[in-house]
Structure 1
Amino acid sequence: MTSHVDARPVTIITGGGRGIGAAIAERLAAEGHDLVLTYRERRDDAERVADGCRAAGARVEVLPLDQADLDACAELVPEAVRRFGRVTGLVNNAGITGRIGPFLDGSIEEAELVLRINVLAPMALCRSAIAHMSTERGGAGGSIVNVSSGAATHGAPDTYIPYAASKAALNTMTLGLGKEFARSGVRVNTVSPGTTRTEIHAAAGRPNAPDERAGGIPMGRPGEPPEIAGAVAYLLSDDASYVTATDIRISGGK
């Protein structure tokens, strides 16, 4: 007999301790998910988010993950399965932009790190998740949501071209995985936020970037993390049962 707890979806959210990841965690906890949240350095932030999700009735595990370590990425899904018995969802949210500025002012070493964290880490995580979820391998199916960016389609000149390139690669990976594993019970989609009010801009050296860009957004303002979380929750839900290899752009019309 399946218990109520065993029937709850179990979703991994990378970078779940702040910004868009935290908003996704809070939304999914309210919708009945149990969660695995990862963080790189700021454990206290992740634990605060976890406490709020637990108050909403979710079981939550908080795990460290440096996405530059691809071996550690490959072990995250198996570790989540050890703790919860299964994984039904993966949200590849964690990422970095690199420094904001002209292309020639950046270094190839920084670009390499951006690609490693934003492309190769999600690839390693997707491999593990699909191997666990695939009905052709004895799994029960599942859903993966990759958090991309509107920058993937406009290139981000004078801003962060390596970041835009990494997100374009993520979109292409999503398209391929969504099609290859559609008959294996695994749906793979992206959400592509436009400029959103998070700390990622401060980490790149431009804390006021969201407000600076507001004039170029048809809605006249940056997005807020909960506005991204709603689309992620939809893609993980049964309402999206016929949606795969699809990108949802959330950019205020830009």
Structure 2
Amino acid sequence: MTGVTRAEGATRPVTVVTGGGRGIGAATALRLSRAGHDVGIGYERDAEAAQRTAAAVRDAGGRAVTFRLDVSDEDQVDALFTEVRERLGPVTGAVCNAGVTGPLGRFTETPASVMRRVTEVNVLGTLLCARRALLEMSTAHGGAGGAIVAVSSCAATLGSPGEYVHYAATKAAVDAMTVGLAKEYGPEGVRVNSVQPGSVLTDMHAAMGDPDRAWRKAEVTPLRRPGEPREVADAIAWLLSDEASFTSGAVLRVSGGL
């Protein structure tokens, strides 16, 4: 559900999940399908992974479409939402999950090209996806309301010194966006929240250059373990649900206590 009460016999919620082929995005797509959603899965490169996620959604009783895009490209974001609306129905929710980090390293050794790409995907991409979702859902634009969840990171408040300060800065921007949009579009029927995962067992760590990073981070995590993607997905599903109907502008930390 999306925070909008649905009468018996109403159509299923339709939620767009970017970065939906793997990791937290894939776990979220599956979790939402189990909660009765149909899911539009945006992905950047790995078509096979996206198709596996779509198959899992269908096995769980949902409908799914996959769409390849770069979320920092406005036209491609528009095409994703149009495809989902035309094939699954009006969009009632969005999970802005697509994100990149670049290699781990000290800030002074991080190339400007890496900073630029991380900012384009994590900040501009999230803004573009949120804007198109609002145009789909806001009652001022003819929508029926809905909910957006942005996937941030504990890095937004921890700063991630020696690893990826530039990434932490982009996630702080995501949280600022969350609070602002919640205030601006709450009166138009759209709730906006974010989640801040801690260290989670995904392949993002290998992409950064440190496959064992999640386990190393467990040493300083109060629960003494990394998170599982499904644990973040559960939090996202709750924020999209009617159980969270009075929750908007929240930044929910899912971090094992970090």
Band of TM-score, shorter chain: over 0.9
Q: How far apart are residue 3 of structure 1 and its match?
A: 11
Q: Does 1:50 align with 2:54?
A: yes
Q: Which residue of 1 aligns with 2:91?
A: 87
Residue 6 of structure 1, CA deviation:
5.8
Q: Does 1:243 align with 2:244?
A: no
Deviating beyond 2 angstroms after TM superposition, the runs of 4 or more aligned structure 1 residues are: 2-6, 67-71
Tell me, in whole angstroms, the C-alpha distance in 2 between the residues paired with 1:212 and 1:49: 28
Residue of 56, 65, 68 corresponding to 1:64? 68
* Whole-angstrom CA distance in 1 between matches of 2:125 and 2:78: 8
Corresponding residue for 1:136? 140
Task: Provide structure 2 residue ranges, at least 5 long, that are not aligned to the other structure.
Answer: 1-5
Amino acid at match of 2:143: G
Structure 2 residue identity aligned to 1:243: T
Question: In the aligned structure 2, how far is the partner of 1:176 from the partner of 1:3?
Answer: 30
Relative to 1, partners in 2 of residues 1:4 and 1:50: Cα closer, same or farther, differing over 3 Å?
Answer: farther
1:217 counterpart SS class: coil
Alignment of 1:119-130 (within 5 A): 119-130=123-134
Question: Equivalent pairs: percent with the same residue?
Answer: 47
Shift of 1:7: 1.2
Relative contact order: is structure 1 or structure 2 higher (C-alpha 8 Å, sep ≥ 6)? Answer: 2
Amino acid paired to 1:130:
L
Q: Which runs of 5+ in 1 are unaligned?
A: none
> Which residue identity lines up with residue 22 of structure 2 in the other structure?
R
Which whole-Å CA distance do the structure 1 matches of 2:100 and 2:130 have between them? 18
- Residue 34 of structure 1 is matched in structure 2 by 38
Partner of 1:17: 21
Query: Shift in Å at residue 32 of structure 1?
Result: 0.5
Q: Deviations over 1:213-248 (max 9, x none)?
A: 111101111111011000000010000111101011
119, 122, 132: which one aligns with 1:118: 122
| C-alpha spacing 1:29/1:166, structure 2 compared with 1 (3 Å) | same
Distance of 1:181 and 1:68 partners within structure 2: 22
For 1:38 and 1:76, locate their aligned partners in 2 and report how far apart those are by CA, in whole Å. 7
Please report the TM-score for the alignment, with normalisation by the length of structure 1. Answer: 0.96
Question: How far apart are 1:84 and its partner, in Å?
Answer: 2.0
**Residues 117 and 131 from structure 1, CA distance in 2 versus in 1: closer, same or farther, beyond 3 angstroms?**
same
User: Hey, what does 1:109 align to over in structure 2?
Assistant: 113
The 2-side partners of 1:182 and 1:147 are apart by 19
Contact 1:78-1:128 within 8 A present in 2 as well: no
CA contact (8 A) 1:68 1:113 kept: no
1:81 Cα shift?
1.3
Q: Pick from 216, 232, 249 the counterpart of residue 228 of structure 1.
A: 232
Q: Determine if contact 2:63/2:88 at 8 Å carries over to the other structure.
A: no
- Secondary structure of the residue that 1:22 maps to in structure 2? helix
Q: 2:205 and 2:252 mapped to 1: Cα distance? A: 22
Q: Structure 1: how far apart are the matches of 2:120 and 2:186? A: 26
Find 2:78's aligned residue among 70, 74, 77.
74
Distance 1:17 1:51 in 2: 11
